[in-house]
Amino acid sequence: MAKTKKQPRPKAETPKGFRDYFGAEVSERAEMLQKIAAVYHRYGFDALESSAVETVEALGKFLPDVDRPNEGVFAWQEADEDGKGDWLALRYDLTAPLARVYAQHRNDLPTPYRRFAMGPVWRNEKPGPGRYRQFYQCDADTVGTASMAADSEICAMLADTLEEVGIPRGDYLIRVNNRKVLNGVLESMGLADDEERSAAVMRTIDKFDKVGEAGVRELLGKGRLDASGAYIDGVGLTDDQADPVLTFLTSKADDMAETFANLRKAVGDSTMGQEGVAELEQIADLLAAQGYGPDRIVIDPSVVRGLGYYTGPVFEAELTFEIFDEKGRKRQFGSVAGGGRYDDLVKRFTGQAVPATGISIGVDRLLAALREKGRIGGTATGPVVVTVMDRDRMADYQAMVGELRQAGIRAEVYLGNPKNFGNQLKYADKRNSPVAIIEGGDEKEKGIVQIKDLVLGAKIAENATLEEWKERPSQFEVPRGDMVAKVREILDGQGG
Amino acid sequence: MAKTKKQPRPKAETPKGFRDYFGAEVSERAEMLQKIAAVYHRYGFDALESSAVETVEALGKFLPDVDRPNEGVFAWQEADEDGKGDWLALRYDLTAPLARVYAQHRNDLPTPYRRFAMGPVWRNEKPGPGRYRQFYQCDADTVGTASMAADSEICAMLADTLEEVGIPRGDYLIRVNNRKVLNGVLESMGLADDEERSAAVMRTIDKFDKVGEAGVRELLGKGRLDASGAYIDGVGLTDDQADPVLTFLTSKADDMAETFANLRKAVGDSTMGQEGVAELEQIADLLAAQGYGPDRIVIDPSVVRGLGYYTGPVFEAELTFEIFDEKGRKRQFGSVAGGGRYDDLVKRFTGQAVPATGISIGVDRLLAALREKGRIGGTATGPVVVTVMDRDRMADYQAMVGELRQAGIRAEVYLGNPKNFGNQLKYADKRNSPVAIIEGGDEKEKGIVQIKDLVLGAKIAENATLEEWKERPSQFEVPRGDMVAKVREILDGQGG
């Protein structure tokens, strides 16, 4: 190591908004991603892994609520020979890189190209509780077809995926809307070219859940007195002008055909709007034919996805079971996946329209949901620990773990300072070990080992009376040759 | 999407030195990493995933041949509220982050802490052929014990790992050396405090393979006339001073005991050197007791690892089978993993010495080796493709792929423009599909489907005479209800 001047010690801290994941957190995520990949693969999707780093120009600016350059991404300028090179950035999602990959490799890729991708993405946003600046996404997209069969396939696959990882039917709902319908509503209101008022209408639509029908009507018109007493300015539309928005927002009926009729009314003469409704009908028909009913996938006009690049159908998967939030209030678990059709992303690179549609699963949200449902544990069983009674017989202890591993049993030798035996048992406890093995000089001489059932031991220590404790010994003395068999027996018993 | 001014189209390119990985490249890597993780886990190691981003100060500067600030890493300064914040960087390996993690979480982690980690790392280096700026590593480390049992365990685990992923015994060799021995040699030469000449001796040692014993003696002394005619200045040592280096370099004997005797001679009176030899003896004894002989793990004084932070034993796994290099010359495949003991990395943060040792597998190198050995294929079988004969019966075709997937068969509907049937078969070809299914109006009416065995079809087209072609039809007409069974039969036949 090159000698360095005395410097202050570095702080042992992750950068703000980043965190470390340990043990079961890592393996449970890996297992869930494997299950998801298996479903995607069965549907014909191929794996793609692009690099974490892209040029800023290739990524483009599609994050919601981001206007300033490089806001929202981690970016830096490359130092080339002349001092200054390309601006590079960490990817903020897996869709923008897909558009770049497809444009770059389109002559070698099949058309349509179905691909899945999983991995971390990075956002340079203000971190909050449970909100990190690096998180996992798991995406599937079909590039190169305008067919609604691609969109319906994505929705069906998403339903299969959620069930595969352990969200039972009835606990999730995939809601489908269409950007064209929303644009059609704006068109039928005569606002198609009025960007400012269109945006105001969109924001108002987003408040429907909170303020209801009457509230929306006020906000679209003159304005509204807030619950807090503040007056919110309205968009300034007449009642007639506001009608399509209200029709749209209240279009969802129990009967799908009625929903579609309401939507057709809301978009009026707008060609784009009518097209949007027709697309939703196609998706609904295809899904119905495959047996995906509205108990799993439903047309829902209230879905608005934040990302700017969607041009047609949009999807959102919500988990509908209730949890308690940090304030102890019941609420639905909420969204775990979202996506939609984005027909213009590849065009940015090639100039030619390449239709595409896809879905992105929020991996960490879905993992949290599985923990809520008790589907995954969060703590894993540790290894069998072979204790060290005689420092000079390390080779013997390593032979013991070798035999256990040969039998497929996770095992390790204690490698700390063996002097204090209590520390070895504390270590086994911290490791969540199921079994500890002891072979001191006496045991060695007699050709036996002591095997401690740590799970049973802990239970007994916690609950048992002295009699029970005597009756159910948690430590066994067996011939050295029977060690593996006895450990296996104890582990099987613990598993049962 | 916010309206933007007309801008030039972005280039559809990965940044220089980065690449995309497709299909089998991704899944084969994932499968190999799973196998490695399983071995590490069986040895008692726990998964850890730290974030890709660390503070520059936490990462430290340990890359070889890097002196200027932030050279070798991708780094940027964070914009905080005052405009300027911490310098952040992408991790360049998995060891520096482990030291940070252990220092940060040491009160919650068991001691010793065995952890494994896998994922991409980034180096801001000049890219070259097959050399990328993002690549995968897969590490296992034990933190918090100075016991050589930890080092020998790492070596044994590495041997098991290589065999587990498909490198047969005899095709790899794990070579073990000790930095203390090297430092002992320098000490016995009286160069312990002469940084400049020590570094010159180290560089000369690295040339032993090329220039041999006599060449090294010249380079340590007055200098040497190069094969190219250039004169290389020597280190300026006397012959006596140079002796320990030569003894060290030629110390490897067929008999392990003899090797150790030679090493003891080379380090002379140096306490550190004698300690280093003793440590190597301990490692050799422990490995021998577990049955890991010199056919798998060998003490080899010529191993020098580039990274600056090693303080004791160092390891290197080499694949010994021969391949042809880009110029058609035979050479050994070479190194796929390396590591060693680094007792001072955690101390940087805490001020307290925390001994640690570990190994890092070069994932992409090991994958390349498995491809060389024919252990993995590089191309994967595609999905069964259900063709679209009648655009209006998409629901029927989706029902067919649904049935196939239910049976665990990878399948997809053709989602391109169905007009040209030839394009559909070209698509199936590009997808490497094993089977195509055809159900036109006639078939529908008769309740049958056509099933094309594309693998057999390709073989017949390539080799068969007309008679064979007639005898071995590659297209089958079966009742619609028998579709899944027939596809399964064909796939099983192809696999055989």
> Three-class SS of residue A304?
coil
Q: Determine the residue of chain B that is closest to A431 in CA distance.
A: B110
- The pLDDT-based confidence of A31 (bands split at 50, 70, 90) is very high
Q: Are residues A318 and A395 in the same domain?
A: no
3-state secondary structure chain B: CCCCCCCCCCCCCCCCCCCCEECHHHHHHHHHHHHHHHHHHHCCCEEEECCCEEEHHHHCCCCCCCCCCCCECCEEECCCCCCCCCEEEECCCCHHHHHHHHHHHCCCCCCCEEEEEEEEEECECCCECCECCEEEEEEEEEECCCCHHHHHHHHHHHHHHHHHHCCCCCCEEEEEEEHHHHHHHHHHCCCCCCHHHHHHHHHHHHCHHHHHHHHHHHHHCCEEECCCCCEEECCCCCHHHHHHHHHHHCCCCCCHHHHHHHHHHHHCCCHHHHHHHHHHHHHHHHHHHCCCCCCCEEECCCCCCCCCCCCCEEEEEEEEEEEECCCCCEEEEEEEEEEEECCCCCHHHHCCCCCEEEEEEEHHHHHHHHHHCCCCCCCCCCCEEECCCCHHHHHHHHHHHHHHHHCCCCEEECCCCCCCHHHHHHHHHHCCCCEEEECCHHHHHHCEEEEEEHHHHHHHHHHCCHHHHHHCCCEEEEEHHHHHHHHHHHHHHHHC
If DSSP codes are grouped into helix, strand and coil, which group holds residue A166? coil
Min Cα distance A206 → chain B (Å) is 17
Q: Of A372, A397, A414, which residue sits at a domain end?
A: A372
pLDDT the model gives residue B207: 82
Numbered residues of the known binding site of B for L-histidine:
93-95, 123, 137, 141, 305, 309-310
Nearest by Cα to B316 from B191, B467, B177: B177
pLDDT digits (tens, 9 = 90+) for A99-157: 999 999 999 999 999 999 999 999 998 888 878 999 999 999 999 999 999 999 999 99
Give the number of domains in chain A. Answer: 2
Minimal Cβ distance to B290: which of A344, A395, A415: A395
B98 in the same domain as B176: yes
Residues B320, B448 within the same domain: no
Smallest Cβ–Cβ distance between B308 and the set A2, A100, A412 belongs to A2
Inter-chain residue contact B147 with A394, CB threshold 8 Å: yes
A-chain residues within 8 Å CB-CB of B396? 289
CA distances from A26 to A30, A211, A496 (A): 6, 41, 25
Q: Which amino acid is at A323?
A: I
Helix B483-495 with B454-463: angle, nearest 10 deg: 50
B51 closest CB neighbour out of A18, A145, A394: A18
> Which of B311, B412, B419, B487 is the best mutation test for A, with the most CBs of A within 10 A?
B412
Place of tokens 């069974």: B485
Q: How confident is the model at residue A380 (pLDDT cuts 50, 70, 90)?
A: confident
With respect to residue A37, please indicate whether it lies within any of the assigned structural domains.
yes
Mean per-residue pLDDT for A350-364?
Answer: 94
Provide the β-strand partners of residue A358. A141, A340
Rounded to the nearest 5 percent, the helix, strand and coil shares of chain A are 40, 20, 35
Predicted-complex ipTM score:
0.89
Is A203 inside any structural domain? no
Residue B19 lies in a domain: no
What percent of chain A clears pLDDT 70, i.e. is strictly above it? 93
Mean per-residue pLDDT over chain A, rounded: 89
Stretch (H or E) spanning A186: helix A179-188
Q: Is A63 helix (H, G, I), strand (E, B) or coil?
A: coil
Task: Pull the structure tokens for residue A211.
Answer: 């303020």
Instruction: Find the farthest-apart pair of alpha carbons in chain A and give their distance in angstroms, rounded.
Output: 97
Distance from CA of B15 to the nearest CA of A (A): 6
Q: Do the beta carbons of residue A343 and residue A355 sit within 8 Å?
A: yes
Residue A145: per-residue pLDDT: 95
According to DSSP, the residues that pair with B335 across neighbouring strands are: B318
In this complex, which of A14, A149, A396 lies closest to B51 when CB atoms are compared? A14
Query: Which CATH number characterizes residue A444's domain?
Result: 3.40.50.800
Same domain, B441 and B352: no
Nearest residue on chain B to A72, judged by CA atoms?
B79
Residues of A in contact with B416 (CB under 8 A): 111-112, 144-145
Residue B286 and residue B281: Cα distance in Å, rounded? 9
CA–CA distance from A177 to each of A59, A62, A191, A299, B243 (Å)? 26, 20, 20, 6, 81
Q: CB of A3 within 8 A of CB of B196?
A: no
B420 and B352 part of one domain: no
The residue written with tokens 């290589």 in the block is B162
Q: What is the distance between the alpha carbons of residues A123 and A452, in angstroms, rounded to a whole number? A: 48
Q: What confidence tens digit (pLDDT) does each residue in A264-309 have?
A: 999 999 999 999 999 999 999 999 999 999 999 999 887 876 556 7
Note the helical H segments in A191-297. 195-206, 208-220, 239-249, 256-267, 271-289
Q: Is B232 exposed, middle or buried (0-12, 13-18, 19+ CB in 10 A)?
A: middle
Contact A12 B49 (CB under 8 A): no
Q: Do B415 and A20 touch (CB under 8 A)?
A: no
A116, containing H or E segment: strand A113-122
Mean pLDDT, rounded, for A385-401: 94
A34 vs A160: CA distance, rounded Å: 14
Q: How many CB atoms lie within 10 A of CB B107?
A: 6
Tell me which residue of B279, B297, B276 sits closest to B154, measured CA to CA: B297
Question: Distance between the two ends of chain A, CA-based, in angstroms?
Answer: 53
Please give the residue of chain B at the shortest CA–CA distance from A124.
Answer: B78
Q: Say if residue A441 is in the same domain as residue A360.
A: no
For the cut 90, the answer to whether the pLDDT of residue A160 exceeds it is: yes
Q: Are A74 and B60 a contacting pair at CB < 8 A?
A: no
Residue A269 domain flag:
no
Q: What integer is the mean pLDDT of A83-96?
A: 88
Q: What is the CA radius of gyration of chain A?
A: 30
- DSSP letter (8 states) at residue A232: E
Instruction: Judge if B352 and B398 occupy the same domain.
Output: no
Interface residue of B307, B403, B415 to substitute, partner A, most A CBs within 10 Å: B415
For residue B52, the chain A residues in CB contact (below 8 A) are 52, 90, 120, 122, 134
| Alpha-carbon torsion (A34, A37, A41, A47), positive or negative | negative
Q: Look at B57 and A19 and tell me if their CB atoms are within 8 Å.
A: no
CB contact under 8 A, A290 and B398: yes
Q: So what's the pLDDT on residue A494? A: 84
Q: For the segment A191-211, what is each residue's pLDDT rounded down to a tens digit?
A: 878 888 888 888 888 788 788
Q: How far apart are CA A56 and CA B176, in angstroms?
A: 44
pLDDT at position A156, please?
97
What is the model's pLDDT at position B496?
A: 47
| Helix B239-249 / helix B208-220 crossing angle, nearest 10 deg | 160
**Cα dihedral value A96, B137, B106, B287, nearest 10:** 160
CB distance A95 to A86 below 8 Å:
no
CA distance B31 to A444: 41
Which residues on chain A are in Cβ contact (under 8 Å) with B47?
21-23, 26-27, 30
Test B114 with A20 for CB contact under 8 angstroms. no
Q: Containing domain of residue A455, as a range?
A: 384-495
**B21 → closest Cβ in A25, A41, A49:** A49
Query: Is B242 contained in some domain?
Result: no
A75 in the same domain as A114: yes
The single-letter code of the amino acid at B150 is A
CATH number of B106's domain: 3.30.930.10
Same domain for B397 and B356: no
Q: Would you say B53 and B122 are in contact if contact means Cβ atoms under 8 Å apart? A: no
Residue count of chain B: 496
Beta-carbon pairs below 8 A across chains A and B: 289
- Domain end: A312, A339, A372, which one? A372
Q: Do B76 and A78 touch (CB under 8 A)?
A: no
Query: Shortest CB distance from B46 goes to which of A22, A44, A308?
Result: A22
**Residue from B6, B13, B409 to probe the interface with A (highest A Cβ count within 10 Å):** B13
**CB-CB contact of B394 with B388 (8 Å):** yes
| Three-class DSSP category at A466 | helix
Distance CA(A151)–CA(A146), nearest Å, equals 9
Q: What is the pLDDT of residue B466?
A: 60
Q: Which residue, among B360, B306, B362, has the nearest Cα to B154 in the 3D structure?
A: B360
Give the pair of three-digit tokens for residue B346: 């955690």
pLDDT at B1: 44
User: Is residue B121 domain-shared with residue B37, that is, in the same domain?
Assistant: yes
B435-438, strands of its sheet edge to edge:
B411-413, B384-386, B435-438, B448-453, B475-479
The DSSP symbol for A348 reads H
User: What is A398-453 written as a DSSP string?
Assistant: HHHHHHHHHTT--EEE--S--S-HHHHHHHHHHTT-SEEEE--HHHHHHTEEEEEE
Does B241 fall in a domain?
Answer: no
Paired tokens of B487: 């596809």
Could you list the pLDDT tens digit for every one of the 496 residues in chain B?
A: 444 556 689 999 999 999 999 999 999 999 999 999 999 999 999 999 999 999 999 998 765 544 444 578 999 988 766 667 889 999 999 999 999 999 999 999 999 999 999 999 999 988 888 789 999 999 999 999 999 999 999 999 999 999 999 999 999 999 999 999 989 999 988 887 888 888 888 888 878 878 888 999 999 999 988 878 888 889 899 888 889 899 998 998 888 899 999 999 999 999 999 999 999 999 999 999 999 999 999 998 878 765 567 899 999 999 998 888 778 888 888 899 999 999 888 999 999 989 999 999 999 999 999 998 888 886 778 999 999 999 999 999 999 999 999 999 999 999 999 998 889 989 999 999 999 999 999 999 999 999 999 988 877 777 766 666 566 678 899 999 999 999 999 999 887 4
Question: Where among B349, B372, B395 does a domain terminate?
Answer: B372
CA distance A13 to chain B (A): 6
- B159 interaction partners in chain A (CB closer than 8 Å): none
Do A39 and A80 fall within a single domain? Answer: yes
Helix/strand/coil for A253:
coil
**Nearest chain A Cα distance for residue B449, angstroms:** 19
Domain assignment present for residue B6? The answer is no
In a domain, residue A14? The reply is no
Task: Work out the number of other CB atoms within 10 angstroms of the CB of residue A257.
Answer: 10
pLDDT at position A134, please?
96
B234, B223 contact by CB (below 8 A)? yes
Q: List the one residue out of A155, A447, A396 whose CA is nearest residue A297.
A: A155
User: CA angle, corner A276, sides to A272 and A281, nearest 5?
Assistant: 150
B351 contacts A103? CB cut-off 8 A: no
Token output for A351: 């100039």
A381: Cβ–Cβ under 8 A, 6 or more apart, which residues? A432, A433, A434
What are the φ and ψ backbone dihedral angles of B159, each rounded to 5 degrees? Answer: -60, -45
Let me know whether A156 and A303 are in one domain: yes
CB atoms within 10 A of CB A419: 9
| Tens-place pLDDT, residues A63-78 | 554 444 457 899 998 8
* Alpha carbon distances (Å) from A232 to A69, A174, A226, B98: 31, 33, 7, 52
Compare all CA atoms of chain A with the CA of B132 and give the residue at the minimum distance.
A51
* Of B449, B432, B307, B373, residue with least CA distance to B167: B373
